Structure 1
Amino acid sequence: MTLHHLPTGTYVTRAALAFRGGSFGDKRHFASSAVLVQHPAGDLLIDAGFGTGVADHIAMLPRFVRAPYETGPTVSSQLDTAGYDRSRLLGVLPTHSHWDHVSGLDGLPGTPIWMNANERGYAATDPDGKVFRSVSQGHEIHEYGFADRPYLGFASSYDVHGDGSVVIALAGGHTTGSVIVFVTLPTGTRYAFIGDLTWQIDGIRRRVERPWLLSKLADSDREQLRQGLQHVIAVEGLMQVVPAHDLGAYQGIPLLSDGPSLRTG
């Protein structure tokens, strides 16, 4: 069982907009990445990064949320460069359905999308699901459910392989069905891929939320998100916590393959 980081690009946001107490002078290059979890029973991609149509996807967004961005090789091209056997891929598991987590689905035709019922409903109706609705056409949706089984403070979880190696916990708060994916390697090393529970690791280490206005715009249930943040803060010392958009948080997770330099868009 192994993990690989597949970075596909970045976009620029000020720290002041990412977490309380951040500085306007601090530019953060928000990651758009995927993580390949390889398991003897079949592999999963956590998120899909930027796709080949990322410029069109960004054009679907309201103007006030568009930001300068840079793109690198897509998940699809990285898999091909590495000679990856796609028949091993069970599907793509988005932590949630926002554009910067699903854009790369456009290069993964035929790959099932793993979603829970709450997120599937959100993606089908919310304005922020517009890109998802475009790139998911033609994909099978593999709907997974949660057992009423607590996991590290979260009330509901789903054990993907039944061996505790990949456990999906329903977090909610950011979107109605947003999840955290906990991965435990045979070595005992543990990871928490927390999606957008916080945008930067500062939210965990400083124990702070998003600024009020940004949370109002971005989150579906602020109180639920706060509870999820507290659960992750409580276990941070036990595992590597990876907010989806914090490039530095992926440190130590090997790349699947080397790719070309980033290009500006």
Structure 2
Amino acid sequence: MIKKPYRLLAIALTSITTNSLLAQDLTYSADLLTQIRDASRAVPGALPTSINFVKFAESHRTYSVVIEDGGEEPFISARTAFQIVYQDGSVMIDAGMDETVHQFYGFGRVEPYWPERNQMVQDALRQANMILITHEHGDHIAGVIRSDIRDEIASKTILTKAQVNTLIDSPQLPEIGLTENLAAKYTVIDYDKFLPIAPGIVLVRAAGHTPGHQIIYAQLETGMEYVFIGDIGWSLDNVIEIKPRPQSTINRIGEDPQALVTQLTWLNGLLKENLLVIPSHDDSLLFKYAAEGLLNDSFIIH
């Protein structure tokens, strides 16, 4: 049972003011990890205890569109949301999407979608203390924009100024567009390089895939460190090989390839530091982590 449903949110919003000096203009380097680790202790409170995920849909691709010089082997792109669990609450990363938005990603194909799993995401959003969004694409953010409970969850949904600007000026699809009035319902923040947002959780700016893309760092009470990289790479292979998507995919999405390579290089270094790097869409990797007990493949719903 969540005894204090808004405790984490209140602490985090305080930290945006009191720890503003921690958001410095830094390069992606080994020193940045040290500073992020220090920042993860800036918001007082017990660290999270576990991390869960739900796959609510999937899209079928080939590695030729996932990674530079990729072949025609099939790649299952999992559509996911994550739940970081505390003793007295939870923080969500990403928000799911309804089936109408899911169809946009099928490019005319009918692909698997499980409404009962997306409803589980909605239930988790409703009970969460805070909702964080890796970036402003429909499969990550539609669940807080096109939701029956939008007015209930908007104020605890933390969006960055860059994310909101994209959603107002040039949304990926019309269904996820925001107006100025709608944007005002959400909690909008702005930071330079990184920002502690909850006990053990730090936002790290990572524009490139989209203008508002961010990495989310989380440390559990066990000391295990997780790095949610959103769509910097769809596969862990992007990180291991330091290769972005092919030029055709980069052009279709409108990515900044130089920024992505810089981020992939830094993330590759984190692998050597034994941090758990989590791409949102790497289906086989996510279930491998689940089999190893590093993630749980279901949400806790009270």
- If the TM-score is normalised by the length of the shorter chain, which range does it land in? 0.7 to 0.9
Please point out which of 76, 86, 90 is paired with 1:29: 76
Unaligned runs of 5+ in 1: 149-155, 259-265
| Alpha-carbon distance, 1:30 to partner | 0.5
Please point out which of 51, 54, 61 is paired with 1:6: 54
Please point out which of 284, 289, 293 is paired with 1:248: 284
| Alpha-carbon distance, 1:38 to partner | 2.0
Q: Contact conserved, 1:181 with 1:192, CA < 8 A, in 2?
A: yes
CA RMSD of superposed structures (Å): 2.8
| Alpha-carbon distance, 1:244 to partner | 0.8
| Residues 138, 168 of structure 1: alpha-carbon distance in 2 compared, 3 angstrom cutoff | closer
Counterpart AA for 1:70: P
Deviations, residues 129-162 of structure 1 (Å, cap 9, x unaligned): 533227x96983111232x5xxxxxxx111012x
Q: Could you say which residue in structure 1 is the equivalent of 2:68? A: 20
Q: How far apart, CA to CA, are the structure 2 residues paired with 1:41 and 1:117?
A: 29
Larger radius of gyration: 2
Unaligned runs of 5+ in 2: 1-47
Moved more, 10-19 or 242-251: 242-251
Q: Which runs of 4+ in 1 moved over 6 A?
A: none
TM-score, normalised to structure 1, is: 0.79
Moved more, 232-241 or 178-187: 232-241
Q: Contact conserved, 2:67 with 2:246, CA < 8 A, in 1?
A: yes
Higher helix share: 2
Counterpart AA for 1:77: M
Moved more, 40-49 or 245-254: 40-49
Q: Could you say which residue in structure 1 is the equivalent of 2:214? A: 179
Q: Could you say which residue in structure 2 is the equivalent of 1:46? A: 93
| Alpha-carbon distance, 1:77 to partner | 2.9
SS in 2 for 1:128: coil
| Residues 229, 200 of structure 1: alpha-carbon distance in 2 compared, 3 angstrom cutoff | same
Moved more, 100-109 or 210-219: 100-109
SS in 2 for 1:160: strand
Q: Could you say which residue in structure 2 is the equivalent of 1:69? A: 111
| Residues 138, 256 of structure 1: alpha-carbon distance in 2 compared, 3 angstrom cutoff | farther
| Residues 231, 138 of structure 1: alpha-carbon distance in 2 compared, 3 angstrom cutoff | closer
Percent identity, please: 19
Q: How far apart, CA to CA, are the structure 2 residues paired with 1:36 and 1:43?
A: 7
Q: Contact conserved, 1:111 with 1:139, CA < 8 A, in 2?
A: no
Matched, 1:220 2:220: no
TM-score, normalised to structure 2, is: 0.70
Matched, 1:140 2:185: yes
| Residues 101, 215 of structure 1: alpha-carbon distance in 2 compared, 3 angstrom cutoff | same
Moved more, 242-251 or 38-47: 38-47
Q: How far apart, CA to CA, are the structure 2 residues paired with 1:15 and 1:166?
A: 32
**Pairs aligned (count):** 238
Q: Contact conserved, 1:34 with 1:49, CA < 8 A, in 2?
A: yes
